[in-house]
Amino acid sequence: MRRRALVPRIPRRSTLAAGVLALVLASGLAPLSPAIPASAGTAETMEASIVRWINDARARNGLGSLRADARLTALAGDRAAMLASNDQLSHTAAGCLSCQLSDRGIGWDLFGENLASNTYPWGDQAARIVFESWRDSPPHWDILMNPRLDTIGVGVALRATNGVTYASAILIDAPRTIAATPRPKPAPTPRPTPRPTPRPTPAPTLRPTPAPTPEPDPAFVTFSRIRPILL
């Protein structure tokens, strides 16, 4: 299967729309607000909320939920931090995404990324505007609602000097791994049953036949029965 990346595209018939979209995503549809300390909310809570809102929307559209992946979340957080460091909203400024996926051992058949920034107070408000800016932009929303994409990582970062929140959402179609057919275990080799060692049959003990008691000689007997003759 050919692997490819999804990038939000604006219709070519309006070059102004592309500029407007970039401005909307960067400003969060609101005037600039003063910087808010990062302690006003946590990145982990904001990221989890954005994923939940995306999955709620997918459920309403009859789509399966996206599985949050720790490696994608870490990568999205790093890319958001890179944008905040440069104070620039650009896929290019965040670096080569396909290269970063490969470097981290994350396989994919298809991937897409949405970026956004706004100056709403850090925390739930900024997270909500990130989600709504993607929801209100058809090219970005198409990526979030793509039925082929099944895994997501969302990262947010705050540029403290101006209070701008940057966000990245990376979605992939994780490659399917075909389970290897288990090899049948070879039947155990039967051990030959040892033949019993024949015990020698003891030779029968010959009992001596008792000698018969000799019977008296009949002549003697006859003789003994004769009365002696007296002379």
pLDDT in tens, 92-101: 888 999 999 9
Judged on CB neighbours under 10 Å (0-12, 13-18, 19+), 63 is middle
In this structure, are residues 143 and 59 in contact, taking their beta carbons and an 8 Å threshold?
no
The reported pLDDT for the residue numbered 41 is 52
Tell me which of 181 and 144 has the higher pLDDT.
Answer: 144
Parallel/antiparallel/unpaired status of strands 67-68 and 4-6: unpaired
Q: What is the DSSP string of 46-105?
A: HHHHHHHHHHHHHHHTT-PPPEE-HHHHHHHHHHHHHHHHHT---TTTT--HHHHHHHTT
pLDDT tens figures, 139-175: 999 999 999 999 999 999 999 999 999 999 999 998 8
Lowest mean pLDDT among 7-16, 64-73, 103-112, 191-200: 7-16
pLDDT at 24 over 90: no
Least confident of 16-20, 79-83, 86-90: 16-20
Q: In which residue are the tokens 């990526």 written?
A: 143
Mean pLDDT of 171-199: 70
Average pLDDT over every residue of 12-21: 26
**Superfamily of 35-173 according to CATH:** CAP (3.40.33.10)
* Domain spans of the chain, in order of start: 35-173
Residue 31 confidence (pLDDT): 32
Residues 6+ away with beta carbon under 8 Å from 154:
47, 50, 51, 68, 73, 76, 167, 168, 169, 170
